[in-house]
């Protein structure tokens, strides 16, 4: 696959401008207010990452821990590095993070048309748990709900 190592860090307020630029490439981009709100969530987790040898943020993920469950709320990978293993590294890292926090079930949702992301999630043990009709806007589209049990997934990433 030829992917380089991903350096993953906890998101900081000073990362917001770069994350906003990354988000501008996505159909469901988050706003500055949404990002700032997520950083203030007491049960939230937010990570940014860049490939080794680069300082530019190329991936972003945030989610929430609720007792023994987690929900991944947002995953964004820069368009120019998609399908190069970077999303896999980020997901491995987050699933290990969740497992270490005692999470028994992890949930996420994605656009029904996002077959590349769905394929990645399925490779990591997620399965379809349901749908939400017309959940997304611009364009209107169904959401696919997915679930996995991160405590049972082998994770190779090292926590930083």
Note the pLDDT of residue 25: 85
Task: Tell me the per-residue pLDDT of 5-31, one tens digit each, with 9 for 90 and over.
Answer: 899 999 999 999 999 999 998 878 899
Note the pLDDT of residue 79: 86
pLDDT at 153 over 70: no
Task: Tell me the per-residue pLDDT of 97-149, one tens digit each, with 9 for 90 and over.
Answer: 999 999 999 999 999 999 989 999 999 999 999 999 999 888 899 999 999 98
Tell which wins on pLDDT, 3 or 41: 41
Listed in sequence order, the residues at least 6 apart from 55 whose beta carbon sits closer than 8 Å to its beta carbon are none
Helix (H) or strand (E) holding 68: none
Please count the CA atoms within 13 angstroms of the CA of 141 that sit on its side-chain side: 13
Can you list the alpha helix ranges (DSSP code H) found in the chain?
A: 16-23, 32-39, 86-100, 115-123
The set of catalytic residues is 109, 121
β pairing state of 105-111 and 69-77? parallel
Burial class (CB in 10 A: 0-12, 13-18, 19+), 152: exposed
Listed in sequence order, the residues at least 6 apart from 62 whose beta carbon sits closer than 8 Å to its beta carbon are 11, 38, 44, 45, 46, 47, 72, 73, 74
Note the pLDDT of residue 151: 56
Task: Tell me the per-residue pLDDT of 53-69, one tens digit each, with 9 for 90 and over.
Answer: 888 999 999 999 999 99
Return the domain boundaries, the chain. Answer: 6-152
Burial class (CB in 10 A: 0-12, 13-18, 19+), 12: exposed
Q: Which CATH class is domain 6-152?
A: alpha beta
8 A C-beta contact, residue 40 and residue 31: no
pTM: 0.86
């Amino acid at each position: 696959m030829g992917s380089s190592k991903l350096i993953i860090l906890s998101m900081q307020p000073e990362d917001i401008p770069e994350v906003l630029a990354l988000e501008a490439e996505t159909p469901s981009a988050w706003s500055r207010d949404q990002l700032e709100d997520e950083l203030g969530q007491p049960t939230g987790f937010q990570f940014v990452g860049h490939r080794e040898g680069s300082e530019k943020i190329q991936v972003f993920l945030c989610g929430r821990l609720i007792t023994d469950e987690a929900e991944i709320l947002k995953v964004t990978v820069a368009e120019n590095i998609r399908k190069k293993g970077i999303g896999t590294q980020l997901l491995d890292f987050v699933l290990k993070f969740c497992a270490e926090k005692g999470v028994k079930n992890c949930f996420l949702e994605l656009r029904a048309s996002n077959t590349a992301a769905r394929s990645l999630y399925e490779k990591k043990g997620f399965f379809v748990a349901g749908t939400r009709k017309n959940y997304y806007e611009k364009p209107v589209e169904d959401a696919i709900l997915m679930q996995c049990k991160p405590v049972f997934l082998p994770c190779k990433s090292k926590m930083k």
